[in-house]
Amino acid sequence: MSRVRIVGGQWRSRLIDVARLPGLRPTPDRVRETLFNWLGQDLTGLACVDLFAGTGILGFEAASRGAVQVTLVETHPRALAALRQSAMTLQAAQVEVVRRNAVEFAATSSSRFDLAFLDPPYHQGWLERIEPYLDRVMKPEGRLYVECEHPLTRLGRWQTVKQGRAGQVNFHLMQGTAE
């Protein structure tokens, strides 16, 4: 196990345990600080989903800042165990951990979200596979946060409104456009 620090909100400076798994890349502190500056620090009342939860740090950051519902979607058993343990340790009743493939979840979920975090494994085509289902799980005025190996201007009807780069990570805040 390794640990990642929550950078803001009610759980600021708390450490959560994360499974050590090949390819698992916790979003760096500096990138998370930038993201939550873009979003505004207060996410009170928002419903959020992390479709490729991994460490869960983006979802726990959202919950720490007042999100009323945070759904963490993950398939790896060790990652799931760490997510459940962190939710229990933080007494995060608003956090739900779901064992599911991100595409299957998006294709079948009846929930709609204000904010989605998309940080899939690189070079596996996950963004292209999830894109057709985004409108199904997102509220029309919702926003996406996307991390990937290359710069993005669009993902379906979602357009980049802010972007940055840290090392090999390209990160984007996207909003839906009417098509």
Instruction: Return the CATH number of the domain spanning residue range 2-176.
Output: 3.40.50.150
Q: How many residues does the chain have?
A: 179
Q: Return the DSSP state at 121.
A: P
Alpha-carbon distance of 9 to 75, in angstroms, equals: 27
Q: Residue 61, Cα to own-chain centre: how many angstroms? A: 9
How many angstroms separate the Cα of 81 from the Cα of each of 2, 78, 86?
13, 5, 9
Residue 132 reports pLDDT greater than 80: yes
Checking phi first, is residue 13 left (phi over 0); if not, alpha (psi -120 to 50) or beta?
Answer: left
What residues form DSSP beta bridges with 3?
17
pLDDT in tens, 73-115: 999 999 999 999 999 999 999 999 999 999 999 999 999 999 9
Task: Record the pTM.
Answer: 0.95
What residues form DSSP beta bridges with 46?
none
Alpha-carbon distance of 111 to 108, in angstroms, equals: 9
Dig out the tokens for 78 from the structure: 């060790």
Kindly report the average pLDDT of the chain as a whole number. Answer: 94
Domain ranges (residues) in the chain: 2-176
